[in-house]
Structure 1
Amino acid sequence: MENLERTLSTWIVRYRWWFLILMPLLILVLAKGLDLRFNGDYRVFFKKDNPQLQAFNRLEDTYTQTKNVIFLLVPEEGHVFRRETLVTVERLTELAWQIPYSLRVDSLSNFQHTEAEGDNIIIRNLVQDAPGLSDAQIARIRDIALAEPLLVGKSIPKDGAATIVNVTVQLPGIDETGEVTEVATAARALADEIRAHSHLSVHLSGMVMMNASFSEAALGDMDFLIRVSAGAMLVVLVFFLGSFGAFGTLLVIAMSALAGMGVGGYLGLPFTPPSASAPLIIMTMAIADSVHILATFYQELDSGAGAKCRREAMQESLRINLQPLFLTTLTTIIGFLSLNFSDVPPFGDLGNFVSVGVAISFLLSITFLPALMILLPARLPRFQFEIHMMTHLGNWVVRHRRRLLWSTASLMVLLTAFVPRNELNDVYVHYLDESFAFRQDTDLLDKYLGGLYYIDYSLDSGKTDGIHDPVFLHKIEVFANWLRQQPEVNHVNIITDTFKRLNRIMHENDPNQYRLPERRDLAAQYLLLYEMSLPYGLDLNNLINVNKSATRVTVGIQVLSTREVLALEERIHQWLSDHEPALVTEGSSPAIMFSHIGEQNIRSMLGAMTLALVLISLLLIGALQSLRIGLASMLPNLIPAGMAFGIWGILVGEVGLALSVVTSMTLGIVVDDTVHFLSKYLRARREQGMPSESAVRHAFSHVGMALVITSVVLISGFAILSLSAFYPNSGMGLMTAMILTLALLADFLFLPPLLMKIDKH
């Protein structure tokens, strides 16, 4: 191995001019793949064979789609049943049809109020010619609306303090990201127009606005966070490596990010909100290899007091670092590739982007960077103070090794014991922080009408025209009544309310006849008359399927935690099993999909982490040529994640989707410091015959500062990611920064005492 390292380092230095020319050309070719197509649709979080996604797609194929834009209108004071408010609602309802791809517009004004005149059913908009309404007419509209189950809790709250205009769109799906942007832009322009000419505050929510906001958050992060990260890296690198060292490292960082994302483009990897953090992570990870090469290079130059020429110093730096750099690159790639086991495809895409970037940064660090640094007339940064500090730290650790071993081990056990306090919880509408208008508007919608959370059930009668069957209608009516008694439920949208309203109207508006038709033929006649009278865009396709064998029941619920959604779903399933087993079906909605994916992802990532752990352990054992040290070295790499989740359990107590992939991802990163420390430790033991205590001091003085620099940069990079407005990215960044901090402390305060304990001979 030593001969191979020496041969490679000599060869790299000898042909440095070729690397200086060819590597940038290679990067240019790879970067041409950067034509990435961004996809902000929430469906990208689910695999195509995800059972909840498949159920949701089947439901949307059967009934009207649920992609929508919601305009929430809130009067400055009072309620919505005022002339000026109704004028605005009526106007907005008409203008909303101009939104691209609009399929249906539902509002208080165009609610199809039904009355009987003789044997005819008269259906008209609840609000007509709003500017000319008298006070008595407005009062009547209010009485009708607040007594209508199809409106209360869905379009208006019980107190009438707000109302919504719901625009359902049907996107062609040719360029969904562009189509979503087109709809969102039109909706915002319309909202601005309404605000300018009314006393109402106008707020935008809905699934289309969520998708648009996801895209804007991700692209905004790329712009803001990369700028902040580049600035922070520049400061740290100039401080530790000098201006020329920082310049060379920044070139490696930039080329690694460009090439990594370019290769991802060639491979057709989708660019999504989670994978949008890939450039920042690549930039952060790319620094480590360069820092180790340059730190040893400067030390070699400095130790010879200028006697060594730059080529010899770089050759020695490459010889010393080639094996640990290759090993750490491999372990990092294993950690990120393990994200492909995730049930959330964007995390796998993130892992693939970063893996390519890390591999390219390794190649650049051992070829392009050495060639550049040999040529640059760099002024040597002085490491005496830093090395002196590391030497003192090494002496202190050796002196207090027993106390450190037991105290750190006790702290590890104590913090890890708090891991079970964490509960899985995701609220997908809270993936964006409060700085986003969508989040503010959706929180306000939740206050008035329950937000975007709902569960759909498609209840099948088992026969064509079965929804006319009074027995079937009675069954689903009982189900709806039970649902309305559940504390989490705000509203139930069900076809039986329409049947009961029609039955009352056909019996001269007798309140006692607000019940289901008793005969099948009557139910069929009522529904036919009603459907024939409905205007374009307000048909019943959102409630019944084509052959009228099944009906959709939409259960509007409060914004709930993952645990609460799953508990409600289980309760509903159990009720159906106990009372109407023939109607048992799975609930479907984005809320259900996101609630299930968390648990599924944790199970899949446990397998991924196990595989990554086995592969990394085998690599370390083989590279270190010691079973005992290889296995022992995994302790300071595994335990920091447990400690971090323990601290999280104490301070937060909830983990979301993104945090479920952090342990596997960071496993490959935290191994890096351990490998470099052990590499210097074992060289001192084997090549110089030092006892374990002296070898620990040698490792601290020769690699300690490089570990501090790389760790500071990594921690800073992921801490900057925690500034993301997109919670899965910010949570992942914060947790990773915490794990890396604890891993550095473990490598300095736990690993050396452990080595001195098990490697006495």
Structure 2
Amino acid sequence: MESKLLMLSRFFAATPFFVVRHRLIVLMLLTSISIFAIFSMSTRTSMDMSIDSFLDQTDPAITALNAYRSQFGSDDSVFLVYEARDGDVFSQASLQAVRQLTENLRQWQDLDPANYDADLQELGQIRRVQSITTLRVQRVDGDTLLSERLVPEIIPSDPAQLQQIRERALAEDDYRLAFYSEDGRFGALMLQTTFGAQPEESYVPAVNADNIELGDFFTDFADDASSFDLHFDESAQIDEIPFQTVDMLEYHSFYAALRAVYADVEDRLTFYSAGNPPLMSWVYEVLQQMIWIGLGMIGIFVYLLRSLFHSFSAVAWSIVTIALSLVWTWGFTVWFGITLSTMLTLTVMLIFAVGIADCVHVMSAYFVKRKQGNDHPTALSHAYAKTGLAIMVTTLTTMAGVLALTTSNLVPIRVFGAMSALGVFMAFFFTLVLLPILLSLWHPGQPEETTPGGTPARTIRQRLQEMPGYVRWVALITLGIALVQILSPGMTLYIMAIVLITATVLRYQDALLNYCPSLVARRPMTILAVFAVIFLSSVYGTSQVRIDSNIAELTRSWSEPRIAYEVVDEHMAGAQNIAIMIDIGISDGMMEPDVLNAVDELQQRVSKRYPDQISRSYSLANIVKDTNQVMNRDDQAFFRIPDSAVTISQLLYLFNSANPEERRSLVSDDYSRSNITLNAYNAGSYQYQVFFEELSNEIDQIFAPLYDSYPDMEVTVTGSVPLMMRAMDEIAQSQYSSFLLALAVISIIMILTLGSVQAGLIAIIPNLIPALLAFGSMGLLNIPLDTDTLLIAPVIIGIAVDDTIHFMTHYRVELIKERDMQKALNSTIREVGRAVLFTTMVLGLGFALLSFSEYLGMAKIGAFGAMAIFVALLCDLLLLPALLMLFKPRFGLKGDIAGFRRIAPSNGDVHA
């Protein structure tokens, strides 16, 4: 095995010479493929940001939602809550403002586009607008059921009349909290949209096809209407409609137009927008912010690499290598018709992290030789001989870790796993093939670089030190003020901290790396005890972690969505809608008393048992009971479901004649399908999952007696909220299973690479602690794991494993050469320790920048990811050497091997 490892080291040492010798052919091939990848990115990239994309389109949850959309349209609505500036939504000024806004949204085509800074055509997505000024209440006039406006066409100015409207409105239980609050301070518009319910452009419905037309016999009806017998074909197959996916930009453009229109009445009303469209618009803006944060991360990488290596070529070629890895990965993925999702951000982060680590390890080994006076070819060959094997193994382990995600049931997670594995391989490929050629074209000089005139080049720090003290302070203060104006105080302090940390590391790196072996040699058991406490605390904290994704809590406390959800939950019926789809399977099934009684019983039971989750419910049963009471002189005793199907059909005929639009929103034309709408307060995914399970049990109990009479009946909980909770639960389950699988595969690879079960297990421990610490800290701080933070595990493991493998492979190769554990460890810490320190700084400080994101999911990834990366550094520099000293693995080597000796803390000299 030793000979094979040395042979691999020689192979990697020869690789730079081979690719440089054939650089013209290699560059031509790489350029051609890169052009193809860029073309593929620009022409074939398809993004699906919807929650639907997380489940297979054949999943029962998707099927149920599509059935609901086919019948009742999209459940993607905007709950536009407003607060009356005069404190009363029933005042004349408030009612006039609401009516103006309602009519503007209904008749947006009549608005002058020149008066708005948004594309009003986007409002074409609105299919229905409801507000307090469109609501109707029923009353009977003789035998005629009338549906009158709650607010008359001419809004009165008389306080008595306005008070009458207020009292009448507050008496309507079905409207209260949905369109106005109990105290009359808040009101709401409900905007139903077509998002998610628009058929694909290629879809042609059969009844609208060119070859379908009504026959002439439809005009031959007699004057007697009874001669027309309309019936429905029960054997007809319902046409399944393929719906378009909604791009996040569509939500953003729509909401921008909506905001532009309601700005006309903001002098009288203050708005709080809840629902999926405004939330997705906010997410779109956050993604735009992520672009700037990404550029900031690149800026930090460039600054740190330049500061650490004092070479622009080292920085430039590292960035080019990583950029091409991303381009090839993206281009090849979309070429095969794969749709990308929000997981793309995490994929880019992982590839960038692994690519940076590969380049830093190569550059660090390269500069060690350059400092010793070696020329460029010798230093480059040495760098690849030292790091090539480790980079190959880290590539395999990281690929194994992310490929474990391809076992997930969620399509975007599988794409993330496969795409990340491809990207990690590309980073290895370009580091091995392209980086040597680029460095041959423009390679770093000696550490003491000189100017063209032959004098030593001065660094920025040296130039600052040469300035007078007051000039230096004025320059720094001016720069700080400028940064505060451009960025923020927090970001400015962070940048200053980066500069301070970098200067400290550059000044004391040698002393730090020399101190680590002596500290470990003198206090191995103390170090092991400290990390054992950290490990046990992390395990306990991990056991306390709860998986819970709350939409509102993924935003900052001052963000627009958080404020809106808090207002809606406190004063109105809640921003979340849950639909219960009822398909009886026969025409007129929803007119049967036993069916409507079951619907009514379910609503009553849900309202009583879940008051903290469900604020109100609305269904066809509400309409039948209300109409029955109105038609019986408003007698409260008739607020019930009649016992006769004939009576119910007559009541629904009357209601349909008075308010056909409302009827169609509740039941299909053949009365075979209907829905119950539940208004829910915002809650976490765990609470929702428990509620959905209990709700399903309630449905089974109540509707079970009906299956004998209606064997084809289906009752399904559906809508965007249940779908989102289902996807979040799937993400949680897939992450745990894939994490364990990845850990097992990585362990096997490390055991085989290191040639020893003992050494392989020792190497796994430093990789477990960072990930466990990240999750354990969240458990101890009572921070729930959400769909974003669950995904930091592969990133943390990938980075931690990289540094550990570099450490262990270098140690083993040195042990083969020297046959001396102490010398092997000293050499490893001296050469690999520097690279590990540099990669930790670059990646840890870069990741920490994400903590400034307005999206808390990404901010937590940044904060806990950075913490894990820095802890991984301590594991590699302190824990791993302590484990090696304690267990003294021989890596399968035979013969005599010198052991560890005590190291004096003063100068690092070895004593027998």
TM-score bin, normalised by smaller chain: over 0.9
Report how far residue 487 of structure 1 moved: 1.9
- 2:379 is aligned to 313
Aligned to 2:807: 677
Q: Which of these residues, 55, 70, 73, is aligned with residue 46 of structure 1?
A: 55
Deviation sequence 1:179-201 (CA, Å, 0-9, x none)? 43442232122122232xx4111
Shift of 1:652: 2.7
Find out whether 1:386 has 2:509 as its counterpart. yes
Q: Summarize the Cα distance change of 1:549–1:20 in structure 2 as closer, same or farther, 3 Å threshold.
A: closer
Aligned to 1:752: 881
The 2-side partners of 1:47 and 1:727 are apart by 27
- Per the TM alignment, residue 709 of structure 1 is displaced from its structure 2 partner at its CA by 0.7
2:500 paired with 1:500: no
SS at match of 1:231: helix
Structure 1 equivalent of residue 303 of structure 2: 235
**Higher mean C-alpha displacement, 426-435 vs 631-640:** 426-435
Tell me how far 1:542 sits from its aligned partner.
Answer: 2.4
Trace 1:10-89 onto structure 2 (pairs within 5 A): 10-16=17-23, 18-19=25-26, 22-35=29-42, 36-89=45-98
Residues 513 and 210 of structure 1, relative CA distance in 2, 3 Å threshold = same
| Shift in alpha-carbon separation, 1:380–1:133, aligned structure 2, 3 A | same
Counterparts of 1:248-263 in structure 2, within 5 Å, are 248-263=317-332
Residue in structure 2 matched with residue 513 of structure 1 by the alignment: 638
Aligned to 1:635: 765
Q: Which amino acid aligns with 1:710?
A: T
Q: Which residue of 2 aligns with 1:530?
A: 655
Alignment of 1:602-681 (within 5 A): 602-681=732-811
Structure 1 CA distance for aligned equivalents of residues 669 and 778 of structure 2: 51
The superposition leaves residues 254-309 of structure 1 with CA deviations (integer Å, 9 ceiling, x where unpaired) of 33333333333323343433323443443333211111111111111222xx2x32
| One-letter identity of the residue aligned with 2:781 | L
Q: Percent identity?
A: 22
The answer for the alignment partner of 2:238 in structure 1 is none
Confirm or deny that 1:142 pairs with 2:166: yes
Tell me the alpha carbon deviations over residues 523-580 of structure 1, each in whole angstroms, 9 at most, x when there is no partner: 1111112112226xx2323222342134311121211122222232233333344454
In the TM superposition, 1:261-340 aligns within 5 A as 261-303=330-372, 306=373, 308-340=374-406
CA distance in 1, matches of 2:397, 2:852: 27
* Alpha-carbon spacing, 1:49–1:637, altered in 2? closer, same or farther (3 Å): farther
Partners of 2:365 and 2:383 within 8 A in 1: yes
Using a 3 Å threshold, how does the CA distance of structure 1 residues 547 and 731 change in structure 2: closer, same or farther? farther
In structure 2, the partner of 1:184 is: 255
Q: What's the CA shift string for 1:167-212, capped at 9, x where partnerless?
A: 11124355632543442232122122232xx411123222222233
**1:681-720 counterparts in 2 under 5 A?**
681-690=811-820, 692-720=821-849
**C-alpha deviation, 1:676, in angstroms:** 0.5
Picking from 587, 611, 616, the partner of 1:487 is 611
Give 1:64 shift: 3.1
Counting only pairs closer than 5 Å after superposition, residues 351-390 of structure 1 correspond to structure 2 as 351-376=417-442, 378-381=444-447, 386-390=509-513
* C-alpha separation in 1, matches of 2:250 and 2:658: 32
Measured in 1, the distance between the counterparts of 2:629 and 2:389 equals 83
2:148 is the counterpart of 1:124: yes
Change (3 A) 1:433 1:669: same
Local SS of the residue matching 1:678 = helix
- Whether the aligned pair in 1 keeps the contact of 2:180 and 2:187 (CA below 8 Å) is yes
RMSD over aligned Cα atoms: 2.6
Question: What amino acid does structure 1 have at the position aligned with 2:679?
Answer: G
| Aligned equivalent of 2:292, options 197, 211, 224 | 224
Write the mapping of 1:401-420 to structure 2, written as runs, cut at 5 A.
401-420=524-543
Q: For 1:665 and 1:755, locate their aligned partners in 2 and report how far apart those are by CA, in whole Å.
A: 26
SS at structure 1 position matched to 2:148: strand
CA distance in 2, matches of 1:192, 1:715: 43
Q: Note the alpha carbon deviations across 1:128-147, whole angstroms, 9 max, x for none.
A: 32444543432222122111
Q: CA separation of 1:250/1:665 partners in 2, compared to 1, >3 Å: closer, same or farther?
A: closer
Residue 557 (1) aligns with residue 680 (2): yes
Aligned residue for 1:445? 568
- Per-residue deviation, 1:344: 4.1
Q: Gaps (5+ residues) in structure 2? A: 109-122, 201-243, 449-505, 707-713, 891-912
**1:59-78 deviation line (CA, Å, top 9, x unaligned):** 33332321222322211242
Contact 1:210 1:438 in 2 (8 A): yes
Partners of 2:157 and 2:886 in 1: how far apart? 89
Q: How far apart are the structure 2 equivalents of 1:218 and 1:435?
A: 18
Shift of 1:610: 3.0
Are the counterparts in 2 of residues 42 and 211 from structure 1 also a CA contact under 8 Å?
A: no
> What do residues 99-146 of structure 1 show as CA deviations (whole Å, max 9, x unaligned)?
213222221111122221121112232223244454343222212211
User: Is the 2:402–2:742 contact (alpha carbons within 8 Å) kept by the matching residues of 1?
Assistant: no
Structure 1 unaligned runs (5+)?
none
Letter of the aligned partner of 1:190 in structure 2? V
In structure 1, the residue matched to 2:461 is: none
1:542 to 2:665 alignment:
yes
Tell me whether 626-635 or 602-611 shows the greater mean CA deviation: 602-611
Assess, with a 3 A threshold, how the Cα gap between structure 1 residues 567 and 17 changes in structure 2: closer, same or farther.
same
Does the Cα contact within 8 Å between 1:293 and 1:317 map onto a contact in 2? yes
Q: Does structure 1 conserve the Cα–Cα contact (< 8 Å) formed by 2:321 and 2:431?
A: yes
Mark the structure with the bigger radius of gyration: 2
Mapped partners of 2:840, 2:536: distance in 1: 24
Local SS of the residue matching 1:607: helix
Deviates more, 1:30-39 or 1:77-86: 30-39
Q: Distance in 2 between matches of 1:65 and 1:133?
A: 38
Structure 1 residue 601, shift from structure 2 partner: 2.6
**Shift in Å at residue 674 of structure 1?**
0.8
Q: Relative to structure 1, is the Cα distance of residues 387 and 427 closer, same or farther in structure 2, using a 3 angstrom cutoff?
A: same
Secondary structure of 2:663 counterpart: coil
Q: Distance in 2 between matches of 1:384 and 1:741?
A: 19
Deviation at 1:500, TM superposition (A): 1.9
Moved more, 563-572 or 495-504: 563-572
Given that residues 499 and 526 in structure 1 are in contact (C-alpha distance below 8 angstroms), is that contact kept between their aligned partners in structure 2? yes
Partner of 1:587, secondary structure, is strand
Which AA in structure 1 matches 2:333?
G
The 1:402–1:203 alpha-carbon spacing in structure 2 relative to 1, beyond 3 Å, is closer
Is the Cα–Cα contact under 8 Å of residues 598 and 702 in structure 2 kept in the other structure?
Answer: no
Q: Structure 2 residue aligned with 1:397, among 520, 545, 556?
A: 520
Local SS of the residue matching 1:116: strand
2:766 maps to 1:742: no
- Residues 237 and 450 of structure 1: is their aligned pair in 2 closer, same or farther, counting only changes over 3 Å? farther
| Contact 1:696/1:752, CA 8 A, preserved across alignment | yes
Paired residues of 1:608 and 1:664 also in contact (CA < 8 A):
no
CA distance in 1 between partners of 2:871 and 2:95 (Å): 59
The amino acid that maps onto 2:295 is R
Asked whether the equivalents of residues 13 and 314 of structure 1 are also in contact (C-alpha less than 8 Å), the reply is no
How many Å separate the matches in 2 of 1:533 and 1:384?
A: 83
Cα-to-partner distance string for 1:671-716 (whole Å, 9 max, x where unaligned): 10111001221111101221x2332222101110100111222222
Q: Counterparts of 2:156 and 2:176 in 1: how far apart (Å)?
A: 25
Superposed CA deviations along residues 225-262 of structure 1, whole A, max 9, x for unmatched, are 11210111111111101132222222223333333333
